[in-house]
Amino acid sequence: MIRTLAVAVVIAAGAVSQAPGRPPTTAVVFETEKGTIDVEVDGVRAPTTAANFLKYVDAGFYDGGTVNRSVRRDNTVRHDVEIHVIQFQIDAAREREAFPPISLERTSVTGLKHADGTLSMARNGPDTATGSFSIVIGDQPSMDFGGRRNPDGQGFAAFGRVVRGMDVVRAIHASPTGQAGPYGTESLAPPITIVKASRRQPGA
């Protein structure tokens, strides 16, 4: 009787984990002038952030946008807490159309970490992220909840990962930077153009 009950509990637990209607992982392709980057967006563990990101993708906000920032040890403006990322921006001509800021999904809640290839929303204060995001190069635990990269200690919202094209990410990361852009010595010179961003269709 006890063994039968235990088996029933295991089966029930499996049914819950595979319940229909649960947000899936979604594949998105970024075509840049440096090459193609394939990413997966985690709508299960970071539902708010993933849904927001996909709204920008589906509405074409990244088409004509740029990767305009590369943070490295040799150019960073912050040597107290160094990180390695590249940062993506929506098309500047559409900034006034941007969607409202979203709530911060902390890594302490989602369980996602800023490991190599992680997608992470850029922000100022908590609950200010809109369309700008970063791709992490190498593990960056200082960007997780409790890390020191952001003074408020709340970290950044991780919401997906690169599944193909880290060679392109690293090529962008190593591209020339200057001093005239919005991020000072971290500004890519010139910025890398995003040709198109779209969902990858099943089987593509």
Q: For the domain that residue 148 is a member of, what is the CATH number?
A: 2.40.100.10
8 lies in a domain? Answer: no
13 lies in a domain? Answer: no
Please state the pTM of the whole predicted model: 0.87
H helix and E strand count, the chain: 4, 8
Q: Could you tell me which of 188, 162, 138, 139 has the C-alpha nearest to residue 36?
A: 162
How many domains, in total, are found in the chain? 1
Please state, rounded to an integer, the average pLDDT across all residues of the chain. 90
1 lies in a domain? Answer: no
146 lies in a domain? Answer: yes
4 lies in a domain? Answer: no
7 lies in a domain? Answer: no
pLDDT tens string 90-149: 999 999 999 999 999 999 999 999 999 999 999 999 999 999 999 999 999 999 999 999
14 lies in a domain? Answer: no
- In 72-168, at which residue ranges do the beta strands (DSSP E only) sit? 85-89, 118-121, 133-136, 158-164
11 lies in a domain? Answer: no
Q: Could you tell me which of 97, 88, 169, 167 has the C-alpha nearest to residue 134?
A: 88
